[in-house]
Structure 1
Amino acid sequence: MKMIPVLICALLSLTVAESDLDKLYPELEHSRTIYVTENGPQLSVAAEQMKVVSRRGGNATLPCKIRMDQSMTPSRKMRIKWTKMTSDYLKEVDVFVAMDYHKRSYGSFHGRVHLQSSSPMDASLVITEITLEDYGRYKCEVIDGLEDGTVVVSLDLEGVVFPYYPRLGRYNLNFYDAERACRDQDAVVASFDQLYDAWRGKLDWCNAGWLSDGSVQYPITNPREPCGGKNIAPGVRNYGLRDKDKNHYDVFCFTSHYKGRFYYLIHPSKLTYDEAVQACQKDGAQIAKVGQMYAAWKLLGFDRCDAGWLADGSVRYPISNPRRRCSPTEAAVRFSGFPDKKHKLYGVYCFKGQH
């Protein structure tokens, strides 16, 4: 492939011979030259799939293959860099960088990421022990001299979105409170894409909640007057971006598979909240969290018609098989509110983690 120098600050025809340029501009002999190739870039990167689906605790390989012109060979200074794109798309978080024998992983990815390196042209990233926070979009960038290429791959997680508000009641969480509330329930604040997928799966919820990008939205499958109007098409209603400190709403949380066992504790009597906590501890477990119940219900088909205490002081029960007296019309996690913790009216759901 013929490469022709184009001088900076001068528009010259690509048909001018190099020797003619030397004669015309001898004083620019040592000036910087940019090489423009007649047939486009010599290096590019591509991914055979733009979305990879995994689960919490699992592994995933984000594809990134290097393509080079036959006239090029990879140099020892070729740099491969993976970054994670944030929800505002303006900031990127460093994940992994490799150049020759030098390799480095960053932050929460340290020790959990490496290149697949099935060939010199394979820049695919392997992520192990996936966390809920790993969900998102990743950019693979390859730089070799003046040549570079990028591709973006999404990592999706199998999981479930659930609306949440604490004992304080509805519309009591600013964005940072919402983040803590989800984290306390073994979850993270859901993204718009996760909420949209849940809406497509028939999630219908009339209370507005925070999403991970700082927007406030809610999913409606059955349009009605109190929820934006009954004459408006079904969809995800959007309040737009809100002040993360001053504005207060509920939150939509997202959780995925867990390592451990979620179960209803068989006990001879009903329990107060404190007795429920102690009963799980005596069984070598902890009182279960809301996110663990949703994950067991949605991902494992857990079904139990007994109302039980959970860690946040709420009482719920998961129904996968609708039947009379147990959520007769739909599969759902039924919510009995936040009762007085001293009432001996309920059982308890426990969770034993695996380490």
Structure 2
Amino acid sequence: MDGALLISDNVMLSLLRPLLVTCLYTLLLPGGQGRIPGYNNGFHYQDISNGNGNGEIYFDGVRLHVESPQHSVSASRGSSVTLPCHYHYEPEIATPRRTRVKWSWLPSNTNTAPSSPEALASETEVMVAMGNRHRSYGTFRGRVRLKRSAPGDMSLVINELQLNDTGRYRCEVIDGLEDESVTVELELRGVAFPYYSQKGRYHFNFVGAKQACQDQDATLATFEQLFVAWEEGLDWCNAGWLADGTVQYPITVPRDGCGGMDLAPGLRSYGQRHRLFHSYDAFCFSASVKGSVYFLKHLTKLNFTEAVQACAIDGSQIAKVGQMYAAWRLMGFDQLRCWLVG
């Protein structure tokens, strides 16, 4: 009886073996319905079925490189600018890859370190593209495109540059599990200048200072913009807000009442101040705009209301402080009264 049972078991095993082999073979067939799921982009990584069984994918030696020949670009307000970004593979590949590119932007008015997690989290999407499909966002919508002058060229073209476009731009190229990026700093050519309330010095909190600069066709200056103005000779004893929420002032000639004689020339900083409760002046930044600046001659002296009307009758508008500084610094004018838009 035991022998018969043993024979029966062996017979059953022999009958099951073809079924087991058939099932296993089906699982390993390329393209079979039972194929082990895994990632395979054809170049960067081998199929997961060749891995270690724990989800690890083997790297096959082809690397994605993203580079920029310029890490800082300057341009004029209202113009077009190209932020260079190129990618390639090492070793080179024979078949074009389907890559995705994302351009993002970290504004100049942030006070976080550019490489910190907080800064990356606060980056704003500018444009994403994959193949011939692309999408732009926010204030960049309709103003940006990819240059694509050669294979691997993902340079960003920004048209009609605005004052608030300054900052650090990140070009990120994504191919499967590969993700590499490079940053390019965009600066506008312009002039930083001090500005204070008609009521006197130190009447602006941060919000008020920001609005005051906007009212004068300008923005709050960055540290870099104020530093350039100091290098060009700006000396101002009153402290003012900057775009990052710090309060500083430029001194070229040390003196009592402006930090003292013992401190070297430079930017004197009060550091971060409470943006609502503390009051100072403002350092604004203005760049050139489309238009013409001219001196309007008049037979008699004019008060402000009469000057506004005179400019309007002449087909223009009264010049703002930011426009005056920009025309003086960038256009060489030394007599400014009216701003002709055109």
Calculate the TM-score normalised by the size of structure 2: 0.79
Using the TM superposition, give the Cα deviation of residue 119 of structure 1 relative to its aligned residue in structure 2, in angstroms. Answer: 1.8
3-state secondary structure, aligned to 1:67: strand
Find the aligned partners of 2:320 and 2:92 in 1 and give their Cα distance: 59
**Map of 1:58 onto structure 2:** 79
Find the aligned partners of 1:284 and 1:101 in 2 and give their Cα distance: 45
The answer on whether the counterparts of 1:44 and 1:148 sit within 8 Å (CA) in structure 2 is no
3-state secondary structure, aligned to 1:284: coil
The answer on whether the counterparts of 2:217 and 2:322 sit within 8 Å (CA) in structure 1 is yes
CA RMSD of aligned residues (A): 1.9
Find the aligned partners of 2:89 and 2:179 in 1 and give their Cα distance: 10
Find the aligned partners of 1:182 and 1:52 in 2 and give their Cα distance: 24
3-state secondary structure, aligned to 1:35: coil
**Map of 1:125 onto structure 2:** 156
Number of aligned positions between the proteins: 284
**Map of 1:173 onto structure 2:** 204
Give the counterpart of 1:350 among 322, 338, 341. Answer: 338
**Map of 1:274 onto structure 2:** 305
Q: Once structures 1 and 2 are overlaid, which stretch shifts more, 144-153 or 86-95?
A: 86-95
One-letter identity of the residue aligned with 1:233? A
Identity of aligned residues (%): 52
Greater fraction of residues in helix: 2
Show structure 1 runs of 5+ residues with no match.
Answer: 1-17, 305-316, 318-348
Using the TM superposition, give the Cα deviation of residue 53 of structure 1 relative to its aligned residue in structure 2, in angstroms. Answer: 1.2
TM alignment of 1:65-76, pairs within 5 A: 65-70=86-91, 72=93, 73-76=95-98
Give the counterpart of 2:188 among 136, 157, 160. Answer: 157
1:191-239 C-alpha deviation (Å, 9 max, x unpaired): 1111111111111111111111111111111111111111111111111
TM alignment of 1:224-243, pairs within 5 A: 224-243=255-274
TM alignment of 1:1-355, pairs within 5 A: 29=53, 31-36=54-59, 42-70=63-91, 72=93, 73-76=95-98, 78-86=99-107, 87=110, 88=112, 89=114, 90=119, 91-304=122-335, 349-354=337-342
Identify if the C-alpha distance between structure 1 residues 239 and 35 changes in structure 2 by more than 3 Å, giving closer, same or farther.
Answer: farther
3-state secondary structure, aligned to 1:183: helix
**Map of 1:13 onto structure 2:** none
Using the TM superposition, give the Cα deviation of residue 120 of structure 1 relative to its aligned residue in structure 2, in angstroms. Answer: 2.5
1:302-353 C-alpha deviation (Å, 9 max, x unpaired): 123xxxxxxxxxxxx7xxxxxxxxxxxxxxxxxxxxxxxxxxxxxxx11111
**Map of 1:4 onto structure 2:** none
Show structure 2 runs of 5+ residues with no match.
Answer: 1-45
3-state secondary structure, aligned to 2:257: helix
Find the aligned partners of 2:158 and 2:132 in 1 and give their Cα distance: 19
Find the aligned partners of 1:48 and 1:265 in 2 and give their Cα distance: 46
Find the aligned partners of 1:284 and 1:121 in 2 and give their Cα distance: 49
Find the aligned partners of 2:254 and 2:170 in 1 and give their Cα distance: 38
3-state secondary structure, aligned to 1:227: coil
3-state secondary structure, aligned to 1:121: coil
Using the TM superposition, give the Cα deviation of residue 301 of structure 1 relative to its aligned residue in structure 2, in angstroms. Answer: 1.1
Q: Which one has a bigger Cα radius of gyration?
A: 2
